[in-house]
Amino acid sequence: MSQETAVYTHGHHESVLRSHTWRTAANSAAYLLGSGVLRPDLSVLDIGCGPGTITADLAELVPQGRVIGADMAEGIVAQARATAAERGLTNTEFTTADVHALQWDDDTFDVVHAHQVLQHVGDPVQALREMRRVVKPGGIVAARDSDYSVFSWYPRLPGMDDWLDLYRRVARANGGEPDAGRFLKSWAMEAGFAQQDIACSVGAWCYATPDEIAWWSGLWADRTVASAYADRATEGGHATADELAAVSATWREWGTHADAWFAVPHGEILARK
């Protein structure tokens, strides 16, 4: 069985976790919450749980059930455990796992959820096969991934286009697919889900208030020069330190505009086994 071959582009620098800890089930899994799938007694596997904020929300929605959060990095799993403990949750557990070769038996979970995971893995079809294997017959695999090539923003500062081009090159060099959102249906069908059993939707994050713009521009400005992404950009020969500094400065300039606006579209699927 295949194992992970991709390198996680972002890493877990503070500028990355600033974004990841902002995520909730409400702002990042509304397509699942509104589907009527979740019930109080279900078992849920949350793949790529990160710092555990979405996982904790899911656990509160299945109080008589159980939620397992899984991630590749032991350090971030420890942070997820702390998130659940701070919220007094007793129906959660966390562990490391490789989505290409999950350690659970067939037909174990009612729901398997993955948020912004498939864009970063080496074999998203195999990942979905594994997610399908461990979900029960009649259960749901829920996946949501952004599509970088259709990110939109205003003002159209030239350096922002440089940022997007650079990010997509680095992500692909790391073995991922930054435009994953548009591929989810196709990947799910290749993984064994019937077309009629896949419900597709599109969701988006929109940053437009002064606080949102300052937060979004600041975290990308910092991430561009001080994170694993920055290291991979320079070590892979995709950009020099000076070029990264210029992109970072563009992010900060963009964030000073009162009319700044940014949209992040996501593809979403609910695939029934």
Which candidate, 172, 171, 179, 187, places its Cα nearest to that of 127?
187
Q: Is the pTM of this model over 0.75?
A: yes
163 and 178 Cβ atoms separated by less than 8 Å:
no
- Is 177 buried (19+), middle (13-18) or exposed (0-12) by CB count in 10 A? buried
- Report the distance separating Cα 8 and Cα 105, nearest Å: 26
pLDDT digits (tens, 9 = 90+) for 181-209: 999 999 999 999 999 999 999 999 999 99
pLDDT digits (tens, 9 = 90+) for 220-250: 999 899 888 888 999 999 999 999 999 999 9
Judged by DSSP in three states, 261 sits in strand
Token pair, residue 143, equals: 């996946």
The two beta strands, 261-272 and 152-154, are antiparallel
163 and 247 Cβ atoms separated by less than 8 Å:
yes
Mean pLDDT by 10 residues, the chain (273 residues): 62 62 93 96 97 96 98 91 96 96 98 97 97 98 98 96 94 94 98 98 98 94 88 92 96 98 98 98
Which residues on adjacent β-strands are paired with residue 144?
A: 115, 268
